[in-house]
Amino acid sequence: MSIPRAAYVHVPFCRHRCGYCDFTLIAGRDDLIGDFLAALARELRLPPHDPPTGRTPLDTLFLGGGTPTHPPPSDLRTLFALLQDRFDWSDESEVSVEANPLDLTDDQLAVLDEFGVNRISLGVQAFSAETLRLLERDHAPEDIPRIVQRVQRQCDNVSIDLIFGVPGQSLAEWEQTLRRGLDLGVPHISTYGLTFESGTAFETRRLRGELARTPEELEREMYAAAMEILIAAGYEHYEISNFARPGFSCRHNQTYWDGREYFAYGPGAARYVRGRRETNVRSVLGWLAKLERNESPVADAEELSPEARARELIFLGLRTSRGINRREFRERTGFALDELVGDAIRSQIASGHLQDDGNAIRLTREGKFVADRVVAAFL
C-alpha cells in the first residue's frame, strides 16, 4: 500500500478566539506550547505514522490552526525541526502555513523561510474597520497592504481569506472587499460565507437577538459577486470557496478533494491513512493528556466500504471545477458512475444543478449556490 505524500499539522494556539470560530484551539495558554511540542513529537512516531525506515517524502505540508505563527520564533523553529526529523520535503514541495497578519514579524518570516515555507495563507477576512471589529480581528484595514507586501518579498504564493455574509455587511461593501483583495496582487483568494456554529459566541449572540443572519438572497448575491469579479480578474474558480490564478491552486487541499490519503497531527486533526479515517480528540488538554500517557489520541475511526468510498469521492470531487471524470472514477473505485448514482445524476441535471459532457459531471453555476444540497444527493 502506498504511503501518503501529504501531511497536515494542527497548531491550536491563538491570541484570542474570534466569536465566529468553532475550530479546535486554545487562547491565552502559551504556557502549553512546550507541552504541545513534546506531545507532537510523540504523535509523530505513533503507528501507523512511524515510517519503517528514514523520513517520509512529502509533496505537500500544511500547518493550520489555530494560528501556526502564534508561537514565538524559537518554538516555531522547534516545531519545524520536529517535522523535518519525520518528513522530507524539497523545493518542489508545497509547504503552506496559515497566519494571522499581525503575527508575521520579521523573525517569524525568517523561520518560515529557513524551513522552506513557500505558501502563506493570511486571515484578512475584511477591509472594513467596522466589520473587522465585529469579527473580533486584531488588525486594521490599513495594516494589510503593508503586511502583504512584506510577505511577498519572501514568498510570492500568498493567499487571503475573506468572509461574506457578516451582519450589517452590504453587497457594495463586499464588492469593495473583493476589489481591495485584488489590489493586493495575491494569486489566491478564498471566500467563505459566515456561519453561526453551535457553541460559538456568535451563535449565543444570535439566540439572544444581538446578531442576525444575513438574508439568504443577499448571501447568494455576494457569492455571485465573488464569482463574477474574481473570474473577470483572471482567477480560476477551481473549488467552491477558492479562486486562484493559473498555477496557484492549493495543492494540499487538492489532496482532500481528490480523495487521496494524508497524515494529520494535533488536537482535532483528521487523517486518512491505509484506507482508514481517524479523528483525534478535539480537546487540546485531552489530546495532551492522552499523549503524555503514551496513549493514542484517536477519538473516532472508520473504514469505509468500497461503495461508501466511491460515494465519498463523488461528494469531494463535485466541489471542484473538474468534477467527476467517469473513466477515472471507474479506474479508482471499480464502480461505473452511472450504475451507482445514475438516478441522482439525472435528477440534478433536470434541476439545473449539474452538467454532463459525456466524459464528466460537474456543478453548473446555479449548482454552486446549493452545492451542499447537490452533493448530499450522492451519499
Q: Where are the beta strands (DSSP E) in the chain?
A: 6-11, 13-14, 26-27, 56-57, 60-65, 87-88, 94-99, 119-125, 158-164, 188-193, 236-239, 242-244, 263-265, 270-273, 276-280, 298-303, 324-325, 354-356, 360-363
Residue 239's closest CA among 219, 261, 254?
A: 254
As annotated, the residues of the chain forming the CATH 3.80.30.20 domain(s) are: 6-257
CB 5 within 8 A of CB 59: yes
CB 190 within 8 A of CB 241: yes
- 6-257 sits in which CATH class? alpha beta
What DSSP string describes 21-48? Answer: --SS-EES-GGGHHHHHHHHHHHTTSTT
CB 311 within 8 A of CB 379: yes
* Type of residue numbered 147: I
Residues in the chain where the model's pLDDT stays below 70: 1, 48-53
> For the whole prediction, is pTM greater than 0.75?
yes
- Condensed to tens digits (0 to 9), the pLDDT of residues 275-287 reads 899 999 999 999 9
Grid cell for residue 304 = 469505509
- 306-376 sits in which CATH class? mainly alpha
Residue 193's closest CA among 215, 173, 164, 217?
A: 164
* Type of residue numbered 256: Y
- Rounded distance, CA 109 to CA 115, Å? 10
As annotated, the residues of the chain forming the CATH 1.10.10.920 domain(s) are: 306-376
Residue 184's closest CA among 215, 222, 225, 143?
A: 143
